[in-house]
A and B are shown apart, each in its own frame.
Chain A
Amino acid sequence: MNPRARLWLVVLGGGGLAALLVAACLRLPAFGGPWHPYGDRAVRAALARHIANTIASVNFDQRAFDTMGEMTILFAAVLGCVVLLRQARDEHRDPPEPCEVAAPVRRYALVVLPIALVTGLYVIAHGQLSPGGGFQGGVVAATALHLMYLGADYAALERIRPVEAFEIGDALSASAYLVLGFAGVLAGGAFLANTLLPYGTFNTLSSGGTVPLLNAAIGMEVASAVVVLLARFLDQAVEIEEGSGS
């Protein structure tokens, strides 16, 4: 189809979709309305289980099964990237030449790296108390690790970041989440039931029964997953060359 015909189709289809969406928006309850039945129930349920951050309670307790699915998507996407970005038969590896990084950049990166890493771990650990948790903290921690690329060079990054170990860590933490789910069934309860551990004191690190454990598993998983992802893309961008070698 030529671009003009395609544009006409987009205008036709997009126009219809726009009409539908606008008509729907006008019928939606006004923005900021007070009626949130599910949300109110979720808040009550979270408080009953001594979890200060309701969102952590929804993610890792009330709708933990959703999070299991989302976590598996993450796991599958990373596994897919590893498969898709593998070294093809007609490619070879060509270690990049170490390049000079400006001294201020290097110092900046080396100072920020530990701070960012600790921040990431802190955000993971306090998931059920304050805003944050495994998903956000994991991304922060993993991205922090890659400041090494700026601070030193690719070879140094490769040394502190054994990708294989992170791939296994990714799989193990995904399995750990599932095993915590199975534990509920084995104990005679429901899958992913948060009844195995005491709920602890409100607003402390150990509150919420299995919530901190699931949160930690997700933090590990997300961190490893993002490390593996970035490693695979860096590998492609820096190291893998086409042709069977020279």
Chain B
Amino acid sequence: MADAVVVVALLAVAGLATAAVANRDPARQALVLAVLGTALAVLFTVLQAPDVGLSQLAVGSALTPLLIMLSVRKVRRRSAHGKDSKQ
């Protein structure tokens, strides 16, 4: 039973990692990374590593995507601003 959960979590991680790489739009990638972070947290918990799971949940599914979203916002705002000044 535990083995089956591990296998499912592993396959989910592999699939989400592929999706994170394949999503070329960084804002959407940030969302996929958040889900990947959660899947990793689940995997780590079933691998009997609750400490790491907790850490991954806080960092991988909240902090890193948040930082990426903020960067995306800055970059987009900048390019919008740049276009305005050109007009």
Contacts and interface: CB of A to CB of B under 8 A. Distances in A.
B63 A139 contact: yes
B28 interface: no
B23 interface: no
Interface residues of B, number: 19
Where chain A touches its partner, the secondary structure class is helix
B21 interface: no
B63 A143 contact: yes
Q: Interface residue tally of chain A, by bracket?
A: 20 to 34
Interface in B53-87: 53-55, 58-59, 62-63, 66-67, 70-71, 73-74, 77-78, 81, 85
Contacts of A5: none
B14 to A, nearest CB: 14
A220 interface: no
Interface string A75-92: 000000000000000000
Please name the 4 residue pairs, one residue from A and one from B, whose CB atoms are nearest each other, closest first.
Answer: A131-B50, A139-B58, A233-B70, A136-B54
21 contacts: A55-B51, A131-B50, A131-B54, A132-B51, A135-B55, A139-B58, A139-B59, A139-B62, A139-B63, A143-B62, A143-B63, A143-B66, A226-B63, A229-B67, A230-B67, A233-B70, A233-B74, A236-B74, A237-B70, A237-B77, A242-B78
Given A131-B53, A135-B55, A139-B59, 7 more contacts: A136-B51, A139-B63, A230-B66, A233-B74, A236-B74, A237-B74, A243-B85
